[in-house]
Amino acid sequence: MAQWQEITGGVTAPKGYQAAGIKAGLKPSGLPDLALIISDVEAIAAGVFTTSQVRAACVDYCRQNLQAKHGARAILCNAGQANAATGEQGVLDAVESAQLLAGELNISPKSILLASTGVIGQRIKMTAMARGIPQLVAELSPSASDAAAQAIVTTDLVTKSIALETTIGDRPVRIGGIAKGSGMIHPNMATMLAFVTTDAAISPHLWQEMLSRAADRSFNAITVDGDTSTNDCLIALANGQSRTHAITEKGQDADKLEAMLTAVCQHLAKAIARDGEGATCLIEVQVTGAQDEKSARQVAKTIVGSSLVKSAIFGRDPNWGRIAAAAGRAGVQFEQENLRIQLGDFLLMENGQPLQFDRPAASMYLKQASEGAYLKEDTVLILVNIGNGHGSGIAWGCDLSYDYVKINAEYTT
């Protein structure tokens, strides 16, 4: 029996959360561009952020608040302007955004976390922000997760949302999440933007540890184009409104909650990879036989991030040599005579030696995956074994199409 079940509601599925998403006039397109997630009570907050040395003002703002161990009540996200590389004025704009929302909600600015997405080098349109915040607060609803998910996207073709439910101490516990991301995806922490909520009661240090591990096994295991964003952030709130006992140490309940958190993050991460700009299919690389999980993930992510592998899959070319070459340059030690590569049901290489296989049928497998875009059967599965170790890992990505170049060549024009 499954440990949890999927439910509706996204970030407002857990008890004690509301959300909103509106058109504030931040995007030139006039589409929804301002989102808010709020907990009815102060929540434990955890976060993982970009490792880029060029960071948006919201990233440093959130880091400072989390390091100060403030509880959190709200997450405010604007789309349209990244507010990255905008100097001191960008920092002041971020602070003012928090102050404006704090005044409207009658809470402390220190209990507000911020996120931004859009064009690097552009400041937030503060006139539109100031005008939009009262409307945003007025639109808060326990059923508005979808509106918030829509308001955080940029080049995404679809919104990303999930909610799961399990039981702890015979009471229901829920985790919900929304995310955005399509291009500039090669996280060294999380992804473009992801927000997770739970009504579980948990200690701050355990929640942060769980989130960091979940990020490594999800958002840190995807790549679209090899570019890490200036604005990457994964923020998770836990408000305790399930009324279950507090999880303060490792054990069965902690393991169950972390497993569900990881499942939520993996669902959102795969949705981002599947929605890669111009992508026609999701690629999943499973690596086994490594010394440890980290090494296996490193090989998997190198393969799925290879422009040559991605291009071959888009061209429906079962070119196993590109997979072997990517595995070999991943920086993980293994003996090439142990290398085994399989594409779907097609075994291409074993014991470091090429095998005869039905090339037209393998090419058709890739073609069928591209025709199943946004369905479960759109996944191209690559299985790689590099030895006899116990380490295994998975990474996700997408193919590289002509449209990716077109979308990004015209991004600011």
Stated pTM of the model? 0.89
Asked if 132 and 25 count as a contact pair (C-beta separation under 8 A), the reply is yes
pLDDT at 156: 82
Give me the half-sphere count of Cα atoms (radius 13 Å) on the Cβ side of residue 116.
35
DSSP count for the chain of H helices, then E strands: 11, 16
Domains detected in the chain: 5-274 (3.60.70.12), 282-409 (3.10.20.340)
Confidence bin at 56 (pLDDT 50/70/90): very high
Catalytic residues: 191
Paired residues of 37 in beta bridges: 19, 75
d(CA 306, CA 322): 8
Confidence bin at 1 (pLDDT 50/70/90): very low
Q: Which residues of 193-218 are buried (b: 16+ CB within 10 A; e: fewer)?
A: bbbbbbbbbbeeebbbebbbebbbbb
Paired residues of 172 in beta bridges: 167
Token pair 């929302």 in the structure block, residue? 101
Token pair 């279950």 in the structure block, residue? 244
pLDDT at 190: 43
For the cut 60, the answer to whether the pLDDT of residue 38 exceeds it is yes
Question: pLDDT digits over 69-79, tens only?
Answer: 879 999 999 99
Q: Is 317 helix (H, G, I), strand (E, B) or coil?
A: coil
pLDDT at 369: 83
What is the share, in percent, of the chain residues with pLDDT greater than 70?
92
Question: pLDDT digits over 184-224, tens only?
Answer: 555 554 446 999 999 999 999 999 999 999 999 999 888 76
Question: pLDDT digits over 104-159, tens only?
Answer: 999 999 999 999 998 889 999 999 999 999 999 999 999 999 999 999 998 788 89
pLDDT at 375: 43
Paired residues of 285 in beta bridges: 382, 395
Question: pLDDT digits over 313-362, tens only?
Answer: 999 999 999 999 999 999 999 999 999 999 999 999 999 999 999 999 99
Paired residues of 382 in beta bridges: 285, 343
Calculate ∠ Cα 35-107-76, nearest 5°.
15
Question: CB count, 10 Å around CB of 3?
Answer: 12
Q: Which residues contact 210 (CB under 8 A, 6 or more apart)?
A: 46, 202, 254, 257, 258, 261
What is the share, in percent, of the chain residues with pLDDT greater than 90?
78
Angle between helices 87-105 and 57-67 (to 10 degrees): 60
User: Phi/psi of residue 275, each to 5°?
Assistant: -95, 15
pLDDT at 189: 46
